Structure 1
Amino acid sequence: MNTPRFFAAFGKGDFIKYQGKRLGFWDVIGSGITPYGYIYSLAYQHAVFPDPTIPLFGDCGAWTYRKQDTPTLFQDIVDAQWAIRSYQKRLHPNQETYVTAPDHILFANLSRCQREARREFNWINARNFLELAKTQLPHTTPVAVAHGLSVCERIRAALDLIKLGYKLIGLGGLATIGNVSHALTIIQTVANQLHGVVHPQQILEPYECNPYKLTPFQRHAWCNKLINQLRAIAPLGAEFVILGGRQYYAGIIEPLEAAQLYTVTTPLAGLAIGRKMHWLKVNTPSFRQLSLGI
């Protein structure tokens, strides 16, 4: 899925809202409204879609059970196997279908134990759902949802899900934000993963990422990205001067110097914070404000 695709959502009454009116989803077929497909929730008891040419996107209904510590729908405990059975009842074998693994929304006002329990729920069910879908829903495309209380946590969750084997990732908890520009900022940040090389003229939004908290997989991906970016912008024989702690250059120096095409220096290596500040003050240009009295 390399181009944006719009899935129209409908709720309890199998309708969508258009120009202030409620239209049954079958009414919009051929009426000039052309969504790519339709998104539905397992929280609602919809009829089976009879037309296999319409792509469908199944959602597990996390918003409905958001206040429950143990997620349930229709008095059933929500887990990966329950979701697989529920999707099987609604889908046509040849239908283009995306199915979402069960997830649980994170809220800042939850206790620490509740948040950790929801993180564990999300990871276990994402893993189990992917394995079950391979054999029980082989014609579908599984989707996992990356949750987090910050942009950085969402990035880490998304990268872990990609490592697990997911090709499509959703961003969870956006319904609680209530600000479209905020949501788009999160999407852009996750899409870019970590920034890597940044040109002097480029302005960055705050992204709350700490290199000390990256998993080995995330760090390896970041190092490879950064090395490729440096090679793309620097001529052979260039010297890279890295002004940062070891976490910013470990795993980067060796590949750059391996072919003896570049040299890398780290003038701040081994210095205490006070000496680092002094070095930066002495060795970087400073600009003073000019004023003109009239």
Structure 2
Amino acid sequence: MSGTCHLVSCVGMKLHRAAPARDLYVSPWFRMARRYAETRGDIWFILSAEHGLVHPDKVLDPYDRTLLTMPVGARRAWATLVEAQMRDVLPACIPVIVVLAGARYREFLGEPLSRHADRVEVPMQGLGIGKQLGWLKHALAG
């Protein structure tokens, strides 16, 4: 066990019916990020704009909410929710948390993540969506 947890952000492209969270999000980016998380870490969760920290097996109905359009106060409240959920599901401190999520999803999670892990990695930080897809494709290939 490597002691790595991956956090993958939700995406707008979803099924039109309830499904386990791992299957609800259907964009090419999410599918590659999911595969990366499943093959590289011990555990992974989804950062859902609607539900906070979600286990991949949890069945969710489709929703239409994104952090990209939330006011700053709502994003802070979301990060507080995610931190509380992390306390419930993650060990007190794990070696590494890898975040596969954009800036809005990481915006208020820096300190909470640092409290839960010895190291926080954001391997695609600063990359646009096209370069993120390329990074994921390359990482999955080799």
TM value normalised by structure 2: 0.56
Aligned counterpart for 2:122 among listed residues 262, 266, 272: 266
Letter in 1 for 2:55: H
Partner of 1:230: 86
1:242 to 99, 106, 109: 99
| CA distance 1:284–1:256, shift in 2 (3 Å) | same
AA aligned opposite 1:251: F
Which residue, out of 188, 194, 208, partners 2:64?
A: 208
Amino acid at match of 1:198: V
Cα distance change on mapping 1:205 and 1:234 into 2, 3 Å: same
Contact kept in structure 1, 2:50 and 2:66, CA below 8 Å: no
Whether 1:255 aligns to 2:112 is yes
Change (3 A) 1:282 1:204: farther
Which one has a larger percent strand, Structure 1 or Structure 2? 2
From 111, 129, 134, the counterpart of 1:278: 134
Query: What are structure 1's unaligned runs of at least 5 residues?
Result: 1-192, 286-294
The higher relative CO (CA closer than 8 Å, separation ≥ 6) is in: 2
Contact kept? 2:97, 2:113, Cα under 8 Å: no
SS of 2:101's equivalent?
A: coil
| Unmatched runs of 5 consecutive residues or more in structure 2 | 1-48
For the aligned residues, what is the CA RMSD?
Answer: 2.1
Cα deviation 1:187-246 (Å, max 9, x = unaligned): xxxxxx821111111232221102111122211110000011112211133222111110
Aligned partner of residue 197 in structure 1, secondary structure = strand
**Which whole-Å CA distance do the structure 1 matches of 2:107 and 2:61 have between them?**
25
User: 4+ runs of 1 displaced by more than 6 Å?
Assistant: none
**What is residue 20 of structure 2 aligned with on the other side?**
none
SS of structure 1 residue aligned to 2:54:
coil
Secondary structure in structure 1 of the residue aligned to 2:50: coil
Q: Distance in 1 between matches of 2:99 and 2:88?
A: 17
Q: In the superposition, relative to structure 1, how do residues 269 and 232 fare at CA in structure 2: closer, same or farther (>3 Å)?
A: same
Shift of 1:253: 1.4
Identity among equivalent pairs (%): 33
Cα 1:281–1:203 shift into 2, 3 Å: farther
Q: Which of the pair has more CA radius of gyration?
A: 1
Q: Give matches, 1:1-294, under 5 Å.
A: 194-238=50-94, 239-257=96-114, 259=115, 261-262=116-117, 263-284=119-140
TM-score by length of 1: 0.29
**CA contact under 8 A between 2:97 and 2:120: conserved in structure 1?**
yes
Offset of residue 284 of structure 1: 4.3
Q: Which amino acid aligns with 2:111?
A: E
